[in-house]
Amino acid sequence: MTDSSLGLDEPPQPKTAEAYRVLARKYRPQTFSQLIGQDAMVQTLGNAIRRDRLAHAFLLTGVRGVGKTSTARLIAKALNCVGPDGQGGPTIDPCGVCEPCRAIAEGRHIDVIEMDAASHTGVDDVREIIEASRYAAVSARYKIYIIDEVHMLSKSAFNALLKTLEEPPEHVKFLFATTEVNKVPITVLSRCQRFDLRRIPADLLAEHFAKVVTAEGVEAEPEALALVARAAEGSARDGLSILDQAIAHAGTDGGGVRADAVRAMLGLSDRNAIRDLFGLLLAGDAPAVLAALRGQYDLGVDPLSVLRMLLETVHGVTLVKVGAAPDPAHSAEEREALNEWASGLSFPLLHRLWQLLLRGHAEVGSAALPIEACEMALLRIVHAATLPDPGELARRLAEGSGPPVALSAGQGASSAPTSAPTVQEIAPPPPAESQQTPLPSDLSGLAEMLGHDGAHELEALVRNHLRPIRFAPPDLTISAARPLPADFVRDLSLKLKEITGQAWRIDTENAPGEPSLRERKQADAVAEREAVLASPLVKAALETFPGAELTGWTRQQNG
């Protein structure tokens, strides 16, 4: 009699669902070709393996999520791979199918020991490594120790490791990973081959995320992936975690991962709204600025996020103005807006906007009332935009073309209304008789002008020591390579303004400049003497009377 005839057979059991693996683990690189953004390191390792010039210890540094631990495991696979037929050697392209490759990928290889230094900081933990390293590998070509966050080891643990690290057994390799390389003793650094893993560019991350969502069968807008890549700040792991959350946030409505949903999830402001807000700031429309900010705040956007994106906008405009390559993450509409602003805004204004926004960001970050602090910061920018440029204002005031105008300390902004008069409107025209002497055409004329006015000491300094770099009265740039009296520039500019009736701008640069008037005359005298000596008559006389010299000849030294 069987169990089934008695009705004792077990009912069919449901299949156990496979545990979900987060994207950051599922798409961890298994080959060096899948390691994005680290081409220089991969090339160096490949050349070292092909030429059999393998270091005994590697130190991998970089910010979180750029692939330090993954790279360490890939190096372990590359060194211990035996190929599908079991006859292969170290290779930069491990097969991934041999037993060592599969065991290392699954974290179960007996000869590849991973240790977290954050939880094994003491000298006893290092002593265990030192003792075990004496014994040969059980089944692999190399016994490999991967120590993550190695900077967490204590000072005594580092000291205990030094001797073994410098002269390890031939069958042992050490792979260290750290996010804070400055905390690793220099004695350890000098014994390792160091690789600095760089932040992964946002465009490469976006391409990688596009492949991931395709493999996952999920639709995603390119702009949404660009937002995720920006939020990742160069970290593939952080980006995949955000993407995992975005896919879950999208749900099962079939709409896929949308940019607006990602912005809402991350608390980011809409970039179109930020561009509109930036334009209102430049226009000095205070009510509209406050309304736009409150609109973003009501949608749940953090004030710090608004200021941060305004800072990114100013930075983007500045990069466009200097001719930097366009950011691939920017949309065509955004690039058009940046180009338009770059053509219309000056560098001084962009730098002033940056400083004002940066100060506002710091204030909002520590304020008890963040949205109110953000409003005040933007109003400060609105009022600053209505005032003339500080450099232009200072130049005009120095020329005497207007009375002093009060500016608030630090920002060049005050509570002036948006219709504040410009410098040209408040400055009376200079009197026609203020110009007493025409501007000199060259340095010699400038020296003569000083001498005629009785400024003989300044005239002597100009003739003997001043080396011009740029002579364009009333602007003058002189060399600072030769020491000049401390008050020379100030005294000379004041005297020239007194003589000509115009303000002079005299700058100094650490460049050799042209020869001084005295050096020019000396060079001319030498050249003229050489020309006299080379003349046929003098040359014949000197040949006829050996030992004769040319005396009694001097070049007239007039200014």
pLDDT in tens, 211-234: 999 988 888 888 888 888 888 888
Span(s) in the chain for CATH 3.40.50.300:
23-196
Q: Are the CB atoms for 427 and 401 separated by under 8 Å?
A: yes
* Full-model pTM: 0.56
Least confidently predicted of 99-108, 110-119, 267-276, 428-437: 428-437
What's residue 17's pLDDT?
54
pLDDT number for residue 12: 58
Q: Is 424's pLDDT higher than 80?
A: no
Q: Which helix (H) or strand (E) holds 505?
A: strand 505-509
- The answer to whether the CB of 315 falls within 8 A of the CB of 354 is yes
What is the CA angle 76-77-78, rounded to 5?
A: 90
Q: Which CATH class is domain 202-266?
A: mainly alpha
Q: Where in the chain is the domain with CATH 1.10.8.60?
A: 202-266
Domain with CATH 1.20.272.10 in the chain: 271-385
* Residue 553, pLDDT above cutoff 70: no
Cis peptide before 14 (omega within 30 of 0): no
Mean local confidence (pLDDT), 516-524: 85
How many whole angstroms separate alpha carbon 105 and alpha carbon 98?
Answer: 11
Q: Domain 23-196, CATH 3.40.50.11240 — does that match?
A: no
Instruction: Say if residue 171 is exposed, middle or buried (CB neighbours under 10 Å; 0-12, 13-18, 19+).
Output: middle
In the chain, CATH 3.30.300 covers 443-514
Provide the mean pLDDT of the chain: 80
Q: Is the dihedral of CA 373, 376, 381, 384 positive or negative?
A: negative
The Cα–Cα gap between 38 and 32 comes to 9
Per-residue pLDDT at 451: 84
What is the Cα 155 distance to its own chain's centre?
33
- Assign 432 a pLDDT band (cuts: 50, 70, 90): very low
CATH 3.30.300 at 443-514, yes or no: yes
User: Residue 173 has what DSSP assignment?
Assistant: E
- Which residue would you say has higher pLDDT here, 250 or 413? 250
Name which of 213-217, 263-267, 435-439, 489-493 the model is least confident about: 435-439
List, for residues 325-383, the tens digit of each pLDDT value: 777 666 677 788 888 888 888 888 888 899 999 999 999 988 889 999 999 999 998 88
Report which DSSP code applies to 167.
S
Q: Which one is the CATH code of 271-385: 3.40.50.2300, 1.10.3720.10, 1.20.272.10, 2.60.40.10?
A: 1.20.272.10
Residue 479 CA to residue 496 CA, distance in Å, equals: 18
